[in-house]
Structure formats: C-alpha cells, structure tokens
C-alpha cells in the first residue's frame, strides 16, 4: 500500500511540473548583434603622383592707372608628394605639389591701355583632414601657395613677381587598384597683389582650380 501511495505521489508531482512548464511562455531566441564590416584599407603611408586640371579666376589692375579687370583661365599639370596617417576613421595628411600653369588673361586698363597677367607655375603645401570610409576618403585641405605672376602694361613694360599666398579646398580620394589611388579636388588660391611696370599700380591674382590626380602609395 505504501508503495502505491509513493508511486501516485510521484506521478502527481510529475504531472504538475509538466503543466507548469507548458504554461511558461516560449523563450525567444537571442538576437544576433548587427554585423559591422571591418575596414580593410589603411591610408597610412607616403605617396607620389601626378595631377592635372583647369584654373579660372579674375585679375584686377588698380592704382595710378585707371582700374581694369578681366577673366583668367588655363590648364595646369604637375607632380604631387604626400604622407597620410590614419587613426580610426580619421586621416591626417600633409601634401605638396608643383604645377606648370597656363592660366592667363588680358584686357584693358583705363580707356584703351592693353594689360595682361599670366601665371607660369604654382606650388602649394597643405594639410589634409579626411574621413576614411574604407576605400573612399572625402577630405578638406588648406595651406600655403606660391607662384609667379607676370604682368604687362602696353607702353610701360613687363614685371615678373614671385608671390606667396594661401589656398583652401576639398576633395575625395579613392583606392582603385593595389597601391593606386585617384582623386578629384577643388582649390581656391589667392596670391595677393603683384607689382606692375607702373609705379603705384598692382594686379591681383585669385583663381579657382579643379583638378584630378593619380597617386602611388608606398
């Protein structure tokens, strides 16, 4: 009799346990964390490259002669050297370039005095601050600029000035194949005022540059 009572109690306890388990809500599966693809490209290192593009701006003669202003434009082509250092997605860089320039323009100063301005070379040294999105990097840039500014006023002669100034701009660069990267960028360049052959008369030189570049990263 005692054995039957023990067996009955065991069956009753098992039934209660099964019923309680059936009443519990089903356990939801754990949600997997969102997958974040790791960056596979690192921008750190030295690089060399070539660049080319187009410049357009405006020059203004002011001073002793009656003032005159006119548009300037022309192509550029040159070489680039630089270094990038990446920490997380942020890329710090230092870049220098020197370009042959064909930017020039001509007009009249005063009533009918022909005058013109020309830039034969342009160099910049700039800091860069970029944000790496794996193989793509938008960036801003700014620094110093130097170039020659030749001025001419009919009947008075020519002058050749080496002028320093500043530049600021931005662009986007991308890794395209192995160590090769390509970029497009915009720069605004201001070389200030250049002397002319007429005492007390100067010519301003300001230009916008749009160019592309191809770099090899070491």
User: What does the alpha-carbon distance between residue 42 and residue 84 come to, in Å, rounded to a whole number?
Assistant: 10
Q: Residue 169's domain spans which residues?
A: 45-217
Question: What local confidence, expressed as pLDDT, does residue 200 receive?
Answer: 87
What are the tens digits of pLDDT across the range 148-174? 999 999 988 999 999 999 999 999 999
Quote the number of domains for the chain. 1
| Residue 98 placed within a domain | yes
Q: What is the pTM of this model?
A: 0.80
List the structure tokens of 168.
């600021």
In a domain, 200, yes or no: yes
Q: How far apart are CA 116 and CA 51, in angstroms?
A: 27
Is the Cα torsion angle 61, 63, 64, 65 positive or negative in sign? positive
E strands along 65-179, which residues?
Answer: 68-87, 90-109, 113-131, 136-153, 157-177
Is there a domain that residue 73 lies in?
A: yes
Q: In the predicted model, is pLDDT for residue 102 greater than 60?
A: yes
The answer to the question of residue 205 being in a domain is: yes
How far is the C-alpha of 123 from the C-alpha of 147, rounded, in Å?
A: 6
Predicted pLDDT at 103: 97
Per-residue tokens: 156: 């008075």
- CATH number, domain of 200, equals 2.40.160.20
Burial of 143 (0-12, 13-18, 19+ CB in 10 A): middle
């Amino acid at each position: 009799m005692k054995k039957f009572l023990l067996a009955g109690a065991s069956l009753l306890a098992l039934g209660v346990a099964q019923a309680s388990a059936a009443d519990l809500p089903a356990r939801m599966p754990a949600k997997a964390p969102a997958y974040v693809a790791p960056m596979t490209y690192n921008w750190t290192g030295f690089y060399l490259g070539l660049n080319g593009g187009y410049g357009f701006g405006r020059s203004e003669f002011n001073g002793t002669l009656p003032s005159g202003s006119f548009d300037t434009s022309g192509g550029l082509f040159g070489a680039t050297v630089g270094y990038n250092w990446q920490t997380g997605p942020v890329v710090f860089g230092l870049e220098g370039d020197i370009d042959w320039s064909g930017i020039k323009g001509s007009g009249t100063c005063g009533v009918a005095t022909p005058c013109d301005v020309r830039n034969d070379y342009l160099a910049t040294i700039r800091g860069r601050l970029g944000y790496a999105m794996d193989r793509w990097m938008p960036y801003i840039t700014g620094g110093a600029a130097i170039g020659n500014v030749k001025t001419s006023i009919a009947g008075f002669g020519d002058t050749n000035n080496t002028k320093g100034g500043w530049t600021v701009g931005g662009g986007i660069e991308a890794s395209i194949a192995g160590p090769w990267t390509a970029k497009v960028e915009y720069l605004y360049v201001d070389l200030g005022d250049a002397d002319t052959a007429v005492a007390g008369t100067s010519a301003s030189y300001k230009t916008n540059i749009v160019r592309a570049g191809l770099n090899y990263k070491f």
